[in-house]
Structure 1
Amino acid sequence: MSEIFGSDAFSPKEIAQRVNNVGVAKVRLPFLSLLMLGVLAGAFIGLGALYFVLIKSDASIGFATGQVVGGLAFSLGLILVIVAGAELFTGNNLLAMAWAEGKISSLELLRNWIIVCLANFIGAAGLAVLVFLSGHTEMNNGAIAEQYIKIAMVKTAMPFWSAFFKGVLCNVLVCMAVWMAFAGRTVIDKAVAIVFPISAFVAAGFEHCIANMYIIPLAMLEKAFNTTNLAAETVTWAGFFSNLLPVILGNLVGGSLLVGIVYHIIYRRNIVQQDAK
């Protein structure tokens, strides 16, 4: 058992081993299980985004306070993913560690990422439809619906490289949250490890592809079926995909390269070389 300042958290080296072992288990999940866990993760992240937008719709809250408190609320999504169990594309970018060690093949890696990303979209967009039908966005005299459209307008009008680099920074923090959650042995340990990196990326305005799979479709529903005075020309399917492509690519680089591969080099590369001799 590792002792870090009197705690029993796993050490970074032990985390690297755990991430590798979990990565192997993830790529071997049966298709239906992987699909359903992916749908759950999309919905869980959507619930975190719902919580965030609810807070941001209150015009009486200052900008910084709204961003930070909204970020804390958004942390609900990843806590649900980690504690309740689900398969999240951005977190699964850490499978790059097991791939770099040769424990999983390139085909297995791509299969997991593609299935999970599509399943996340089903879960996130499906939740958007349910939330729209529930009338939730009519709360606060329609300010919630208006906030969804405002957020979506910014996202869909964002230049490619801005969205890309915001995606990179976002998933560095998301994968660090997942990484640190592996250090914990209790639900409280995991929740504390998740909250600060996730609230930081949200407060900073970085881009998470799965959250956008919930926010933008819901904004499109509001634009199509509810009266709005906002000129939301970019809130369309074309605008959605113009945001999604650079954000997915940025999330991949941030999570896989800047977290997964970096930690592989630090903790696992020498082990692989020793095993090869």
Structure 2
Amino acid sequence: MTGTASLPQPDELYGNIFDACQDKANLPFSKMVVLGTLAGIYIGLGGLFATVALAGAGEIAFGAGQVLSGMVFSLGLALVLIAGAELFTGNTLMLGPVAAKRIPLTRAISALSVVYVANFAGAILLAGVAAVSGLHEAGDGAVGRAALELAETKTAKNFATTVASGVLANLLVCLAVWLAYAAQSAAGKIIGLVLPVTAFVAAGLEHSIANMYLLSYAYLAQGLIDQGATLVSLSAIAANLLPATIGNILGGAFIALAYHAAYGNSAKA
């Protein structure tokens, strides 16, 4: 015996995650709101960190800059999973326990809706504070320019492209959650989540909650930067968030339903 805890087997991990999803679906409304707001702030902090990293990306190769921004963005999900918060994209794994008849569909929809709105509130709150803080002026305005360039890239995608990108993003985010749940320590959880999160950010995929912060911040920052034109509009933000959210739901559902199909008859009910 080495004294170290062994990793759970895949079927045991499936059961543990579905137990956690059931607990999340049954949280009191007030706790969902508070923890959902925190998750919006936490993911936004990851986005803030990534934007700062991108502000200096012109000095290094594109791929390396993207990977760097993805690595630092991992801060957001690490805070959610270790400090504790309710994140809409990870919570789409509830659709697995719905299929297993452990959570009523109406309860899952209600829980996901409350957390989604709370995540949005937290993201907007952080975007407002970041804008007032003068973050856009950092690096002789490089951070502000990076935020606007990132927002323009995201809002330029069409509906189908954004849905597909959202599917891929939440496949990776839910796998990051899955790997983090396998770990028994904070360090292990961070190691487990970093690569999937880095991959989705580096690839420029669409994560609805991250975009709530990134696009809101860009919208506010453009008013503080003399651009002479509105580059990010409210309608463009909505046109990104709707398909990104649809794609995120589909991506999370795929992971949850695939593991339910594999282990639903063997794991604990």
Category of TM-score, reference length = shorter chain: over 0.9
- 1:30 equivalent to 2:45? Answer no
Q: Quick one: distance in 1 between partners of 2:181 and 2:162?
A: 29
When structure 1 is superposed on structure 2, of 237-246 and 93-102 the one drifting more is 93-102
Quick one: structure 1 residues 270 and 17, their matched pair in 2 at CA, closer, same or farther if it must change by over 3 Å? closer
Q: Quick one: distance in 2 between partners of 1:204 and 1:10?
A: 30
Tell me the amino acid that sits aligned with residue 132 of structure 1: A
When structure 1 is superposed on structure 2, of 238-247 and 16-25 the one drifting more is 16-25
Q: Quick one: distance in 2 between partners of 1:185 and 1:271?
A: 20
SS at structure 2 position matched to 1:182: helix
- 1:110 equivalent to 2:106? Answer no
1:191-206 paired onto structure 2 within 5 Å: 191-206=190-205
Pick from 7, 17, 41 the counterpart of residue 9 of structure 1: 7
Q: Quick one: distance in 2 between partners of 1:111 and 1:11?
A: 31
Tell me the amino acid that sits aligned with residue 19 of structure 2: N
1:164·1:247 contact (CA, 8 Å) conserved in 2? yes
Shift of the alpha carbon at 1:271? 5.8
- What is the match of residue 247 of structure 1? 244
Q: Quick one: distance in 2 between partners of 1:165 and 1:105?
A: 27
1:218-264: CA deviation from partner (whole Å, max 9, x where unpaired): 111112232126x554x1110000000100000000011x2000000
1:101·1:269 contact (CA, 8 Å) conserved in 2? no
Shift of the alpha carbon at 1:119? 0.4
- What is the match of residue 236 of structure 1? 233
1:172·1:254 contact (CA, 8 Å) conserved in 2? yes
Tell me the amino acid that sits aligned with residue 266 of structure 1: A
SS at structure 2 position matched to 1:8: coil
Pick from 51, 54, 57 the counterpart of residue 55 of structure 2: 57
- 1:259 equivalent to 2:255? Answer yes
Shift of the alpha carbon at 1:98? 1.1
- What is the match of residue 39 of structure 1? 37
1:19·1:97 contact (CA, 8 Å) conserved in 2? no
Root-mean-square deviation (CA, aligned residues, Å) is: 1.7
Q: Quick one: distance in 2 between partners of 1:30 and 1:73?
A: 32
Counting aligned pairs with the same residue, the percent is 39
Q: Quick one: distance in 2 between partners of 1:270 and 1:70?
A: 40
Q: Quick one: distance in 2 between partners of 1:204 and 1:7?
A: 34
1:153·1:232 contact (CA, 8 Å) conserved in 2? no
- What is the match of residue 187 of structure 1? 186
SS at structure 2 position matched to 1:225: coil
Q: Quick one: distance in 2 between partners of 1:183 and 1:226?
A: 45
1:44·1:81 contact (CA, 8 Å) conserved in 2? yes
1:125-177: CA deviation from partner (whole Å, max 9, x where unpaired): 11000000111221000110111111111111211111110000000000000
Q: Quick one: distance in 1 between partners of 2:195 and 2:174?
A: 12
Q: Quick one: distance in 2 between partners of 1:96 and 1:173?
A: 16
SS at structure 1 position matched to 2:88: coil
2:5·2:184 contact (CA, 8 Å) conserved in 1? no
Tell me the amino acid that sits aligned with residue 264 of structure 1: H
2:12·2:267 contact (CA, 8 Å) conserved in 1? no
- What is the match of residue 46 of structure 2? 48
- What is the match of residue 160 of structure 1? 159
- What is the match of residue 98 of structure 1? 97
Gaps of 5+ in 2: none
- 1:226 equivalent to 2:225? Answer yes
Tell me the amino acid that sits aligned with residue 206 of structure 2: E
2:126·2:213 contact (CA, 8 Å) conserved in 1? yes
1:38·1:123 contact (CA, 8 Å) conserved in 2? yes
